[in-house]
Amino acid sequence: MQWDLKLITKYNINGPRYTSYPTALALNENFDKTLISQAIANSSQDLSLYIHIPFCHKLCYYCGCNKVVTLHQHKADTYLEGLAREMALYSPLLKNKKFQQLHFGGGTPTFLTEVQLSRLMDLIHQYFNLHNTAEISIEIDPRSCSDNKLRHLRQLGFNRVSYGVQDLDEKVQIAINRVQDTELICHLVELSKKLGFDSINLDLIYGLPFQHPESFAHTLEKIIELSPDRISLFSYAHLPERFASQRKLDNDSLPDAKMKLQLQQMGINAFVDASYQFIGMDHFAKPNDALAEAQQNGKLQRNFQGYTTAGQDALIGLGVSSISQVDGVLWQNSKTLPEYYNAISRSHLPVERGFSLGSDDKLRAALISQLICHFELDIKAFEKRWGIVDFWHYFADACQQLQPFIEDGLVNATEKHIHINQNGRLWVRSICACFDAYLTQGQQRYSKVL
């Protein structure tokens, strides 16, 4: 890749990550909840299941996730009862459906004890039908995962793990209130390999307080040495006006725009040089990993969990704030525990807002997904699939917005084909935004693309 500061200044706009189209900002409270049962009944795909565990033992200052910081373990027992009731409400709708993926996210899923984890998995098997070969994954805070808990996860059927590393430098860790020993991370990764987990992912963040090229180079070197199957390299989005915990960070300690770009460049170059496939935006995978193979075979997709090998329009989300997307219908649960518990206690699905995609939404969603996953589009095949007579006439506004990317050599566009080249991949979010009919509505609520 060529790193052109002029282009970076020009295209580093605020924009969505496109884990859905339209994005979650389009969801509204006037949503007709009867659409949920219809969407599930109409879906012909196997589904994926996401369960949100909101609890954390400590507050990480950079975090923008929906979370509840507490030391009271019994709160998780109450939450599991709520999840049990929610599962029971969904069960009649899903009794004939199969699930090919299960993912625990948060918060900190490993906040749960071994007993609580067993209880949750028992509930899942009671109410849902998992494939024997289902991918079962969990996000892990190394500080809350003992050797016994990791072994227990493997015994429960988990076959993929993702560790939140963020940065290995102690000064950075102190600043973000997430101090974790490097040796602990190394030990857990090695134990995960010995226990036979199919895939190990490590999460990193660039743009954190006190990060600089020298220390970040050490982090990158150590991560590559651990040889995980996948690596996520996320850009820190500093939005203190939205996330109170970020106000605890000293603005003067954050890398400036030029250094942040340098950190990103270092990460991409290091992982590509180490033979990881650059999936796009912020993900890397070994060439033989399922995620990389899905991209190689043109089958990679994207949903609210990010890049996925499963369907982008076949996700059920359970728990507080979780988002579902099935057959062109999006819906999100209540964002606070009191509201979530109140709905469940009345035997109502705890759905707060939603959105049903129209025909234009669906074809734009398909187009954006294709570009963000595979960086190219066969226009004639797309016209045939969606019944469009003239692609460039239909997307006349997008064509105009796309023109600067074409002139700057980031995108090749002809009557028959769109191709985002190697340098253009950095700007895939900005390029996809050209086809977004909703973007001007609340654009500043999104983070910068780099």
CA distance 386 to 414: 19
Tell me the residue ranges of DSSP E strands in 290-446.
301-303, 306-308, 314-318, 323-326, 329-333, 351-356, 376-378, 411-413, 417-420
328 in helix, strand or coil? coil
Greatest pairwise CA separation for the chain in angstroms: 61
- Sign of the dihedral defined by the CA atoms of residues 443, 205, 140, 232, in that order: positive
The residue range of the domain holding 191 is 24-315
310 in helix, strand or coil? coil
Instruction: Clarify whether residues 89 and 185 are in a common domain.
Output: yes
Instruction: Clarify whether residues 110 and 151 are in a common domain.
Output: yes
Burial string for 333-355 (b: 16+ CB within 10 Å, else e) reads bbeebeebbebbeeeebbbbbbb
Instruction: Clarify whether residues 35 and 153 are in a common domain.
Output: yes
Out of 315, 349, 375, pick the residue that ends a domain.
315
Instruction: Clarify whether residues 364 and 269 are in a common domain.
Output: no
Instruction: Clarify whether residues 415 and 393 are in a common domain.
Output: yes
Across the chain, what does the average pLDDT equal? 92
Q: Within a domain: residue 343?
A: no
Instruction: Clarify whether residues 72 and 185 are in a common domain.
Output: yes
Instruction: Clarify whether residues 31 and 17 are in a common domain.
Output: no
Interior angle at CA 29, CA 24 and CA 34, nearest 5: 100
Instruction: Clarify whether residues 286 and 370 are in a common domain.
Output: no
Q: Check: pTM over 0.75? Answer yes or no.
A: yes
Q: Within a domain: residue 154?
A: yes
Instruction: Clarify whether residues 279 and 408 are in a common domain.
Output: no
CB of 345 closer than 8 Å to CB of 337: no
DSSP assignment, residue 208? -
Q: Within a domain: residue 137?
A: yes
Q: Within a domain: residue 354?
A: no
Residue 381, number of CB atoms within 10 A of its CB:
12
Out of 283, 315, 347, pick the residue that ends a domain.
315
Q: Within a domain: residue 335?
A: no
Which CA distances in Å does 195 have to 85, 145, 198, 357?
Answer: 33, 14, 9, 43
Instruction: Clarify whether residues 286 and 137 are in a common domain.
Output: yes
Out of 247, 281, 315, pick the residue that ends a domain.
315
CATH value at residue 446: 1.10.10.920
Instruction: Clarify whether residues 40 and 1 are in a common domain.
Output: no
Instruction: Clarify whether residues 245 and 369 are in a common domain.
Output: no
Residues 304-336 pLDDT 10s = 778 888 767 899 999 999 999 999 999 999 999
CB of 66 closer than 8 Å to CB of 24: no
Provide the token pair at 450: 């780099």
One digit per residue, the tens of pLDDT, for the chain of length 450 reads 666 777 777 776 666 778 889 988 899 999 999 999 999 999 988 999 999 999 999 999 999 888 999 999 999 999 999 999 999 999 999 999 999 999 999 999 999 999 999 999 999 999 999 999 999 999 999 999 999 999 999 999 999 999 999 999 999 999 999 999 999 999 999 999 999 999 999 999 999 999 999 999 999 999 999 999 999 999 998 989 989 999 999 999 999 988 998 999 999 999 999 999 999 878 999 999 999 999 999 888 887 778 888 767 899 999 999 999 999 999 999 999 999 999 999 999 999 999 999 999 999 999 999 999 999 999 999 999 999 999 999 999 999 999 999 999 999 999 999 999 988 888 888 899 999 998 864 444 555 655
Q: Within a domain: residue 350?
A: no
Q: Within a domain: residue 190?
A: yes
CA distance 108 to 68: 9
Q: How many domains does the chain have?
A: 2
CATH value at residue 60: 3.80.30.20
Tell me the residue ranges of DSSP E strands in 94-178.
98-106, 129-140, 160-166
Q: Within a domain: residue 423?
A: yes
